[in-house]
Amino acid sequence: MEAIKNYKCPCCGAPLVYKAGSETLHCDSCDNSFELATITQMTEDMESAGGASKYDWEHYEPRDYQSDGEVNLANYSCPSCGAEISGDDTLGATVCPYCGNSTIVKGQFEGGLRPDYLIPFKLDKQAAVAAFEDDFKNAPFLPDNFKSKKKIQEMAGVYVPFWMFDCDCDASIVYNAEQVTAWSDANYNYVKTDYYKLFRSGRISFANIPVDGSKKADNTYMEAVEPFDYGDAVEFSDRYLSGYLADKYDVSAEDSIERANERVKNSAVETFKATTSRYSAVIPESTKIGFSNGKIRYSLLPVWMLNIKYKDTMYKFAINGQTGKVVGQYPVDNGKKWRYFWAVAGVMYAVAAAVAYFLLF
Ligand SMILES: [Zn+2]
Ligand SMILES: [Zn+2]
């Protein structure tokens, strides 16, 4: 018997020895045997799965943007929350889409940064209002001012800046997995646990992973309002801004990379995990993720925004301007809740009385 260098027992870590005249390696410590080919493959896979994850994104060079004159643009600034937005200068009484303040200041359009592309609004204001009102079915005790037509009309269509990330992601993940089988005969119950080392590697191409590029737009809202259909994306032009506001990014591409890495990594991990579902326990041992061909583009995505105040709290709503998905939390009008409770309790009392009546007679 001769020890084979570098090959360690996958069960106990002791050195494996080659059994002359066979294609098998043996562990003297735990008495397991392994096919030589399996151990070689495993060692190679372990080595390629080791090492640090690498994220390779191109550098994004911002481009200046001046109006092409198709729409008269203005700057709007909000003295209350500090939002600086551009947009159609014919918009009348504009309410700040981020904080609901109505004393927004209109000024000269000062140019900005040119988006690479944009998804145009598919839902006009009327359709967005209808989507919002339709969502009231999820809020049975909604205070009346949420249903005020005048208030809902304050909804503003805002193109929200997003960084879009594309990349090819190569991942190798090693898992320790178990498969538990249980059975019984007349005398005993048996439990058998098989232990596996799983290797998964492959390439996933990601396109259009969005990361919110505006500090004012709440990240949780912006991620909840997804998904957008990028099939509708067009090259940016002024004319799409007619009737709308457009925010500009204040989180740079570089500062958004961390979030993009996280989103790519999570999606890759999820996709790989899905291939291990037949095992009863799966624990990742090492994860290596690398990106290549990382492209960054600046784009504007359509969101309807509305702020409604109720009892000193501003309730924010975002409606996907392409799909009509409504994101936001409704307050509960306690008065309404109690009225509803008494109505229900009243019916229950009537039923109870009727039952008592039938029992008595
Ligand atoms: Zn061993
Ligand atoms: Zn504001």
CA of 29 to the centre of ligand 1 (A): 5
Q: Running DSSP on this structure, what letter comes out for residue 54?
A: B
Distance CA 308, CA 136 (A): 14
β-strand partners of 15: 8
- Ligand number nearest to the C-alpha of 33: 1
Return residues with CB closer than 5 A to ligand 1 (ion).
Answer: 9, 11-12, 14, 27, 29-30
CA of 13 to the centre of ligand 1 (A): 6
- Ligand number nearest to the C-alpha of 195: 1
CA of 97 to the centre of ligand 2 (A): 7
CA of 76 to the centre of ligand 2 (A): 10
| pLDDT (0 to 100) of residue 3 | 46
| pLDDT (0 to 100) of residue 325 | 94
Spell out, as residue ranges, where the chain has pLDDT lower than 50: 1-4, 361
β-strand partners of 207: none
pTM greater than the 0.75 cutoff = no
CA dihedral (232, 233, 237, 240) positive or negative: positive
Q: Domain coordinates of the chain in residue numbers?
A: 1-49, 64-156+209-249+299-330, 336-361
- Ligand number nearest to the C-alpha of 307: 2
| pLDDT (0 to 100) of residue 148 | 87
| pLDDT (0 to 100) of residue 93 | 65
CA of 103 to the centre of ligand 2 (A): 9
- Ligand number nearest to the C-alpha of 245: 2
| pLDDT (0 to 100) of residue 327 | 92
Tell me the pLDDT tens digit for each residue of 65-95.
Answer: 877 777 888 899 999 988 888 888 888 767 8
Strands 84-88 and 245-247: antiparallel
64 to 112, 115, 194, 247: CA distances (angstroms)? 6, 9, 61, 15
CA of 2 to the centre of ligand 2 (A): 76
CA of 10 to the centre of ligand 1 (A): 7
Distance CA 214, CA 217 (A): 5
| pLDDT (0 to 100) of residue 346 | 64
Give the containing element (helix H, strand E) for 193. strand 189-212
Distance CA 151, CA 314 (A): 13
CA of 90 to the centre of ligand 2 (A): 19
